[in-house]
Structure 1
């Protein structure tokens, strides 16, 4: 059992997309409303059960985007199951805490029925071209001191991300929250997005993940049906930009709190 767990942890840490259905990335702050403090601690991890950390999410690009839109690097402390960053939140407004884009391992992938799929060595169907595919993971979370602001919500414009139309600090239980899926700053149509809830370990009725699709303009909405902490996640794969270069398998996640 220990060997199996160690192997799973290693694969998740390397960003193996074949394991992505089991291990999902997330960022989780000690609190979403930071009005009564000047610093907030945020954990980054991979998990099979939200929000129980299993494998520390290592990244050279941890950062915070402040209410003024300025991006500042953060230094992470790594434990076996999670990474921790301390984020200064002295100014009023909303902060975006991010892992930045973290590069994982390079695997083999093939285009099967219009979809890029990771392949075990020698398992690709005959006549199908196999290419290198690198995993890229980004996880974000927003925290707010005082009244919500929008400076930190501006799209980064690189890789896969969600643009919040409904402010993450204003998401209300039972009401739709709206977002746009972007890749390199452009809307992604027909993109699957999965909503997962945490905190149901002791619940009588378990929360089943819900999958929605973006429309032609990349817009989608989700509706949390109970108060708590949630994660929304998408995966988007792109072909190699040129011969000899790997394709990219992007995973993006956003954690938020829903209150009544």
Structure 2
């Protein structure tokens, strides 16, 4: 036990800080299937290690499943436990499905002179040690619920997307959304092989996003001391290339900020994107 504890402490000491950060992910039971009426089961979690649920389950309120014809569907048989959520996806169409957990909204924080904050029932409640907060707020909430004499007011907007891709039969075009930070495949996300180079493009509100840094980590981090992360940066056209070193499930993450907010009170917009991609052996 003592040797195990020392080894674990040593391993944690040499890991980069990014290795200890919580990672959101969606992992399908299969990324490529074939049939007229087939299913996949998707695990959804926020964890410290890939892809091992060890922190909290992902909420399923904002899961959107986009079929090859562009129609959207809700997850089937959803269930949430302590460390992970699961749901099923029925793939009735031929082509590529985009399975995503989307998030967005305006949040605010401030210090109240009277030490009272808006409570969940609409009545004033005592402020916490870090002051008052509003989450998923509207423009009216920002205008009406923050006192005029509030101090250190910070308002920000966030748009997030966590996704994966599953193809039934032949691959099909993956349409972009045109809002927030998203992946526009050049190489199809269900056509990735170890030892081969793949090309992708990142967009912000439908336009190429240059100069974004992307972190890519192969799953199974629980069983190795090094993250072996790959770091790449988008070029002037928003494109980046990856040469996959070996087969496996890979976690891809990037983020950025700008001032293109939807409410005038927010001075900053935070955009984040995460994808799980499967790389197959040659």
TM bucket by the smaller chain?
Answer: 0.7 to 0.9
- The equivalent of 1:100 in structure 2 is 102
Secondary structure in 2 aligned to 1:170? coil
CA distance in 1, matches of 2:20, 2:212: 16
What's 2:232 paired with?
212
What is the CA distance between 1:246 and its match in structure 2? 5.4
Which of 252, 268, 281 in structure 2 is aligned with 1:247? 268
| Partner SS, residue 32 of structure 2 | coil
> Which residue matches 1:6?
none
Deviation at 1:141, TM superposition (A): 0.5
Match of 1:191 among 212, 216, 236: 212
Aligned residue for 1:178?
A: 199
Residues 237 and 226 from structure 1, CA distance in 2 versus in 1: closer, same or farther, beyond 3 angstroms?
same
Query: Structure 2 CA distance, aligned partners of 1:93 and 1:241?
Result: 34
Which residue is 2:51 aligned to? 51
| Aligned CA distance change for structure 1 residues 242 and 68 (closer, same or farther; 3 Å) | closer
- For 1:235 and 1:49, the matched residues in 2 are separated by 20
Match of 1:24 in 2: 23
Q: 1:39 and 1:105 mapped to 2: Cα distance? A: 37
What TM-score do the two structures reach when normalised by structure 2? 0.70
TM-score by length of 1: 0.76
What is the rounded CA distance, in whole Å, between the counterparts of 1:59 and 1:251 in structure 2?
18
Matches within 5 A, 1:33-112: 33-35=32-34, 38-53=38-53, 54-74=55-75, 76-103=78-105, 106=108
What residue ranges of structure 2 are gaps of 5+ in the alignment?
1-17, 111-129, 132-151
Number of residue pairs aligned between Structure 1 and Structure 2: 222
Cα separation, 1, equivalents of 2:238 and 2:45: 27
Q: Matched residues in 2 for 1:30 and 1:105: separation?
A: 35
Q: Could you tell me how far apart the structure 2 residues matched to 1:104 and 1:223 are?
A: 37
Report the secondary structure of 1:169's partner residue.
Answer: coil
Could you tell me how far 1:105 is from its partner in structure 2? 5.6
Name the CA shift for 1:130/1:186 in 2 (closer, same or farther; >3 Å).
farther
Aligned to 1:229: 249
SS in 2 for 1:100: strand
Q: Deviations over 1:108-155 (max 9, x none)?
A: 9xxxxxxxxxxxx79xxxxxx9842244321110111111111xx111
SS across alignment from 2:190: helix
What stretches of structure 1 move > 4 A for 4+ residues in a row? Answer: 102-108
Give the match for residue 201 of structure 1.
Answer: 222
CA RMSD in angstroms comes to 2.8
